[in-house]
Structures are given as C-alpha cells and as structure tokens.
Amino acid sequence: MNPFKSYKTRPGEKHLGELLKQKNDSDGDYIFLLIPEDIGVRANGGRPGAADNSSLFYNAISAIQVNEFIPAEKFGWSEVIVSDLQELSQKYLYPENKDELRSLVEQVDKRVFQVINNLLKKGKTPLVLGGGHNNAYPLLKALSAVNKEKIHTLNLDPHPDCRNLEGRHSGNSFSYAKENGFLKNYAVLGMHENGLNEESLKKFTSNPDWHYFPFESWTYRGTSTFLKSLEIALKHVCQTSVFGLEICADGIKNCPSSAAVQHGWSWEDAFNVAYQSGQTGRCNYIHLAEVALPLIDPLMQMSVAKSSVACLIAFVKGYESPSF
C-alpha cells in the first residue's frame, strides 16, 4: 500500500509527497525504503525505539519542496513488511530471550534481502532508513549477489559492528558479511576507541582489507582531519568494486539512537560523507541506521526526521553531480 496516498500538498506549492502518491512500488530511480524494526537492536542489548519512526519519516519525505534543486521525478518508494515480526518480538526480553530475538533477526534479514535484491537488479538506488544496524548485513548480501563479487562498504560509525558470530543482531552485520563471503574492503570512519572490544580490534589488525579511522585522531591527537580521513576511506572502498554507504545515528550529536553519545559529528558532517560517497559513482545505496525518534522530546522528533531525510537527499545530490 502506498504510504503517501493520503498526502495533501499545501495550496500553491508542490511537494514530493504529491508526486510519490501517484507512483507504484519501485517506480523511480532513487527509492525511499523504511525498515520499521528494532529487533536487532534489542537482540544486541540496545535500547528500543528504532521501530517507531515511519510516520514522521514519511511526513518529512512528503514535505520536501519540488524545485530545481532536486531530481524530484526520479524518486520512488518501496517497503519491507516486518510488522508481524516486530509484534512477535515484543514478548521477548534481553538477555533471557536473546536466542529468540536473534532468530527473528534472521527472518528480518531474509525479507530485507529480498526487497533490496529486487531493487538492485532493476538498477534502482535504495535510500534506506532503519531500523537497526543489523540491516546492513542483508543490504551487503544483496549488493554482492547482484554484482556477483565481493563488495566494499564505508561505515560512518563510532562502532565497527563486527562482534562475534553469536547469532544475528545489530552489532555483527559486518563480521557476518565477511564470514559469508560478501564483504572485502571495509572502512570505519570515526570509530571511538573507547567503544571497541578486543575481539573486534583483532579483526582489523589481522585483515589488511579492513581499516578504521579513529575519531580521536582528529578531535584531539591532531594526526589527521575528518576530511582527510574521509578521502582515504573513500579511496579504500571505491576503486576496485562498488560499495554501500552505512551511517549509524549513534555518532551523530543530538540524534536519538540506541547507543547515543554527545561526542561525535554533526549532521553536516554526515551530509558531507553522503554527498561525497554519491559523487564517486560507485556507491549503490545509502543506509541511515539506528535513528530512534521516540527517545527524544516529541517537539524535537520532526526536526530529527527532517535531518535524517536530508542526509539521503545529500547522497542523491552527490550522485547527480559525479566527481570521479
């Protein structure tokens, strides 16, 4: 069912919601895709909330003005239906029911993979709003399957999400992707040294294809800068294969998420990463994960929803202005 079907534009203006309400599932080049679940977050011991963003995200998308600054006719929509799994998960608690929660994440994986795989096969560019960061795994799996090769990923994230293979959850998408042969080059931009467990660090020190660029290197050690780290990270992931862009809300200052901190990067920094990734012409999707709007004051929720959508639009604007 078209989530934009009831949208009504303000008189005298033209909004994106008015165009999207006239489109069928998957029509367009850039496809907005929401994944309303927090099962993977809870299976990792995180705070719930990422399942309840949809109405505000759809409102933020709908309200975008149609003008010369965006390729409005190229946008479309699709959906991943996981409401039954989300409802079923409510009877489980972490840690006593972690096995049941992780089993449900595997079912979420299958549904996300099917939708993303179909979109990529049709040459579409998914613009994905989560949901937990567990959804990076089926995204990478689909990208690899369509391209018939191992692919790369850039992750703007305080955490590398490469925990042990202990059952699927939001903290091990990239270790599962590597283990199952989908992922080759991996770059984590902005990793917080204080949040890296020893087993995850070993995965980087033992794998020449995996690099991290610590947040501390530009905030107080002065051994790099944000933009220099971004430049090196992009080169690492875009020269020998296509890649996917992952952005976790955990590192965006003042953004509600399951593991939010106040020391991180601005929304403008996230826009920059999105824009430059799009400009490479090699990035086949953007995924903004872990935004959890119910965790903040209701008066602030719509402003965060607008920033989340603006991050996706920044990626599209980069894609439309390639700089190889």
CATH classification at residue 31: 3.40.800.10
pTM of full prediction above 0.75: yes
Give the count of beta carbons closer than 10 Å to the beta carbon of residue 194. 10
Number of domains in the chain: 1
Q: CA angle, corner 41, sides to 259 and 205, nearest 5? A: 70
183-191 and 210-214 strand pairing: parallel
User: Which domain, by its residues, includes 232?
Assistant: 24-319
CA atoms within 13 A on the CB side of 179: 14
Residue 139 lies in a domain: yes
Q: Would you write out the chain's pLDDT as a tens digit for each of its 324 residues? A: 899 999 998 888 999 999 999 999 999 999 999 999 999 999 999 999 999 999 999 999 999 999 999 999 999 999 999 999 999 999 999 999 999 999 999 999 999 999 999 999 999 999 999 999 999 999 999 999 999 999 999 999 999 999 999 999 999 999 999 999 999 999 999 999 998 999 999 999 999 999 999 999 999 999 999 999 999 999 999 999 999 999 999 999 999 999 998 999 999 999 999 999 999 999 999 999 999 999 999 999 999 999 999 999 999 999 999 996
Task: Say what angle helices 298-319 and 267-279 make with each other, to 10 degrees.
Answer: 20
Residue 95: asked if its preceding bond is cis (omega within 30°), the reply is yes
Residue 285 lies in a domain: yes
Residue 3 lies in a domain: no
Which of 48, 21, 37 has the alpha carbon at shortest distance from 135? Answer: 37
Residue 14 lies in a domain: no
